[in-house]
Amino acid sequence: MIRKRLNELARALPACAVLLAAFGCEPETAPQPQDQPALPQEFLQVSWEPQEVPVAHIVRRDYRLREGDFLEIIYHVKHAIAEAYRMKIEDVVVVRFPFNPSLNQTEQVQSDGKLYLDLIGPVRAIGKTIDELQRELYSAYSKYLKEPTLTVSFKESNVKITELKKPREARAAWCPSRRTGRSPCRSSLT
């Protein structure tokens, strides 16, 4: 049975060889479109030169803070401007009289929400816009001046945010020195 198969295979081999010779055994190459550019030689290289790793991708070991290190803290505050700014505590307001410069004042909104101005005394300023405060001061100064001309403006606003943004380089005042015998910055409760 095996011999019979081998004989059949031996007869089929010359026929296969004739067919391969007639039609060829090379694979067909697909024609390349003319609009495609040829690949540059550098893409066809067998080996590539090593490239430098960008500094941002280098993994560094963890760093521990030490005494004498300086930190910079950056606060990102989003401001949505939906309406006019309303005064807050510690805002600094400038009241100017162009025709009476002796009445010019620069005052800070105090913790009770008032401005303490010469001639008219305390005026509630917290929660008011510049225009509202200017109208109120106009009516208050009208009692003492004939048709007062005044302008109200901010010298400083959002003072608390500004204070947060300032860098702190000085050592904290509550931290005891090494001369006391206690370790620095240790709580007094221990």
For residue 57, the model assigns a pLDDT of 66
List residues bridging with 114 in a β-sheet: 124
Amino acid at 11: R
Classify residue 26 by its DSSP letter: S
Q: pLDDT > 70: what percent of the chain?
A: 65
For residue 83, the model assigns a pLDDT of 79
pLDDT digits (tens, 9 = 90+) for 150-165: 999 888 876 666 666 6
> Lowest mean pLDDT: which of 28-37, 55-64, 122-131?
28-37
Q: Which fold has domain 92-165?
A: wza like fold (3.30.1950)
pLDDT digits (tens, 9 = 90+) for 35-93: 666 777 766 767 767 777 666 666 667 778 888 888 877 777 776 666 788 888 888 99
Q: pLDDT > 90: what percent of the chain?
A: 24
Do residues 125 and 113 lie in contact, with contact meaning Cβ atoms separated by under 8 Å? yes
Read off the tokens for 65: 């803070």
Q: In this model, does residue 94 exceed pLDDT 70?
A: yes
23-54: buried (b, 16+ CB within 10 Å) or exposed (e) per residue? eeeeeeeeeeeeeeeeeeeeeeeeeeeeeeee
Amino acid at 61: R
Q: Residue 15: which H helix or E strand, with range?
A: helix 2-23
